[in-house]
Amino acid sequence: MMGPGNAATHGIGWTVKQVKVSSILTDKKFALCVDTEGQQLEVTTAIHRTGITPVVGQDWLVDRTYGVWSFAAWVDLT
């Protein structure tokens, strides 16, 4: 895990992305998601910040505040 700072501090790219949840692996505590550019990424479900449990098909904003991708906000596009 990285030291203090955020992803921008370490120069590793985007710090916030919009993703769609494609599957949730509860036993491994992560969700597979696809970002708006079509790239797949793993998002931890072990960090609970919103009080909302992600569901397959939902759109979310994810960020790297804690060093790994985690769910930051649910985006309700309906």
* Dist. CA 15–CA 6, nearest whole Å: 8
Mean pLDDT of the region 9-36? 88
Average pLDDT over every residue of 2-24: 73
Task: Give the position of tokens 């998002």.
Answer: 43
Q: Which conformational region is residue 53 in: left (phi greater than 0), alpha (psi within -120 to 50 degrees), or beta?
A: beta
Instruction: Round to the nearest angstrom and report the end-to-end CA distance of the chain.
Output: 36
Under a CB-based contact definition with an 8 Å cutoff, are residues 15 and 8 in contact?
A: yes
Which pTM value belongs to this model? 0.80
Q: What pLDDT does residue 19 have?
A: 97
Q: How far apart are CA 66 and CA 45, in angstroms?
A: 12
Domains (ranges, CATH) in the chain?
7-75 (2.40.50.140)
Q: What is the pLDDT of residues 38-78, one digit of tens each?
A: 999 999 999 999 889 999 999 999 999 999 999 999 999 77
Strand 59-63 and strand 40-44: pairing?
A: unpaired
Say which residue, 70 or 8, is predicted with more confidence: 70
